[in-house]
Homo-oligomer: A and B are copies of this chain.
Amino acid sequence: MTLDEARARDAADPLRHHRDGFALPAGTIYLDGNSLGALPRAAVAVMHDAVTRQWGERLIRSWNEADWIGAPQRIGDKIARVVGAKDGEVIVADSTSINIFKLLTALTAQRPEATHILSESGNFPTDVHIAAGAARAAGIDLRLVTRADIAGAIADDTAALLLTHVHYKSGARYDMAALTTAARATSVPVIWDLSHSAGAVPLDLAAAGAEYAVGCGYKYLNGGPGAPAFVYVARERQAALRPALQGWMGDARPFAFEDAYEPAPGMGRMLIGTAPVLSLLALECGVDAMLAADRDALWAKSQELFDMLTGLMAERCPDFTLVTPTDAERRGSHASFAHADAWPINRALIDAQVIGDFRAPDVLRLGLTPLYTSFEDVWRAVDVLADIMANETWRKPEYAVRSAVT
């Protein structure tokens, strides 16, 4: 594979015009859209209007006029199309962490005889931390088992199973339908964290029988830094859900200003306080950009980018060990490579304008976001990395210094 061949792939890419919809900085190769999605160009004007006209000129009137009040449902319905859910099954609210907490507290309350919440050791930390807090509040345990032992650990006294569909580090993907079916045999509800799969891999929550899910707005959905998250509940499970967190925006009549709480019908009850409108409106631009592209084409391109990346890495950077499954059905849209010096190597890459990220203790993680990642990006990234390895540029002392955020 040569640079010219990579360029030829870009020229033939049916998604290539979507890249123009993103404001990618010249000279930078961005392979970290799985951590913070790139800026959709449309968001610049949308945010300017939101700040200057909606907030500045129309002020409080925008709650009705600009339908700020309906944004969580409106954007939720759009995300539903990305994840294979129906209108009214997804709502945008708070953070992924807080949405997990809502679901866990509601589900543990439904199963008072249960003794533990089940999850995976090495799951994304916030999932585990939230589950530990929810378990403590419910007076039950958190049981963490290895990935291989999950299916066998589902038991009658499991309050809920919390799994991340695509692992943030390894990129390994669970078989959602199989695990959901296995859990249903014991009536154990499963919460799927879709943070690394929404917008990354084909999702059909309805077909998989998934009943509960959460996900992140700022990764593949390109919603901006710290964008609000989403939560999904299958329609038939919504009415019974009573999260411990219940606030006025989730009340059936918030502007009646009454003491008694009555959960709003459907997903409305998953709202708590007033949503951060500016961040919400940025998220909507990202979701719109995702919906404009064909889902099958995105996944096909993700696979081609992955195969090209892993092929070039094996050829030109053989010191790295691929930790992501090669079977496309068993992984997400990022590729992770282990190397004992992954931290300074990643710093050297960033210095050379190739942005991936490091995940402790030894992983270089490269995100493939087919909306805007080009084949040339991948070719150049490996070329730069091969140069860094050959010249040992990464040994510069400054690259050993740790930053606040990795």
| Complex CA distance for A44 and B268, rounded to whole angstroms | 32
| Complex CA distance for A135 and B169, rounded to whole angstroms | 38
Check A51 against B39 for contact (C-beta < 8 Å): yes
Is residue A333 within 8 Å, beta carbon to beta carbon, of the partner chain? Answer: no
Check B25 against A56 for contact (C-beta < 8 Å): yes
Check B68 against A55 for contact (C-beta < 8 Å): no
B residues in contact with A54, CB < 8 Å: 225
If A224-B55, A226-B280, A274-B226 touch, whether A97 touches B248 (CB-CB below 8 Å) is yes
If A282-B278, A404-B69 touch, whether A255 touches B225 (CB-CB below 8 Å) is no
Check B128 against A259 for contact (C-beta < 8 Å): yes
Check B23 against A282 for contact (C-beta < 8 Å): no
| Complex CA distance for A66 and B346, rounded to whole angstroms | 20
Is residue A340 within 8 Å, beta carbon to beta carbon, of the partner chain? Answer: no
Nearest opposing residue in chain B for A134, CB measure: B244
Is residue A208 within 8 Å, beta carbon to beta carbon, of the partner chain? Answer: no
Check A246 against B133 for contact (C-beta < 8 Å): yes
B residues in contact with A357, CB < 8 Å: 60
A108-134 interface (Cβ within 8 A of B):
109, 121-126, 128-130, 132-134
Is residue A2 within 8 Å, beta carbon to beta carbon, of the partner chain? Answer: no
Check B279 against A276 for contact (C-beta < 8 Å): yes
Q: Which of A30-38, A180-188, A302-310, A384-392 contacts B (4 or more CB under 8 A)?
A: A30-38
| Complex CA distance for A30 and B55, rounded to whole angstroms | 12
Check B25 against A38 for contact (C-beta < 8 Å): no
Q: Pick the residue among B51, B59, B94 that contacts A30 (CB under 8 A).
A: B59
Is residue A171 within 8 Å, beta carbon to beta carbon, of the partner chain? Answer: no
Contact with B along A24-54 (1 / 0, CB 8 A): 0100101010011011000110011001101
Nearest opposing residue in chain B for A272, CB measure: B97
Check A63 against B405 for contact (C-beta < 8 Å): yes
B residues in contact with A23, CB < 8 Å: 52, 56-57
B residues in contact with A68, CB < 8 Å: 225-226, 405
Check B98 against A244 for contact (C-beta < 8 Å): no
| Complex CA distance for A245 and B144, rounded to whole angstroms | 19
Is residue A137 within 8 Å, beta carbon to beta carbon, of the partner chain? Answer: yes
Check A129 against B248 for contact (C-beta < 8 Å): yes
Is residue A291 within 8 Å, beta carbon to beta carbon, of the partner chain? Answer: no
Check B97 against A61 for contact (C-beta < 8 Å): no
Nearest opposing residue in chain B for A218, CB measure: B274
Contact with B along A219-242 (1 / 0, CB 8 A): 000001111110000000000000
B residues in contact with A280, CB < 8 Å: 226
Is residue A330 within 8 Å, beta carbon to beta carbon, of the partner chain? Answer: no
Check A229 against B133 for contact (C-beta < 8 Å): no
Contact with B along A51-82 (1 / 0, CB 8 A): 11011111111111000111000000000000
| Complex CA distance for A52 and B169, rounded to whole angstroms | 29
Check A261 against B132 for contact (C-beta < 8 Å): yes
| Complex CA distance for A266 and B258, rounded to whole angstroms | 35
B residues in contact with A229, CB < 8 Å: 273
Could you tell me the distance in whole angstroms from the C-beta of A44 to the nearest C-beta in chain B? 6
Nearest opposing residue in chain B for A93, CB measure: B95
Can you list 5 A-B contacts with CB-CB less than 8 angstroms, sorted by A residue number?
A: A68-B226, A97-B247, A136-B244, A226-B278, A227-B276
Besides the contacts A36-B60, A225-B278, what 8 more A-B pairs have beta carbons closer than 8 Å? Answer: A60-B355, A64-B405, A96-B273, A97-B247, A97-B273, A105-B137, A129-B247, A256-B360
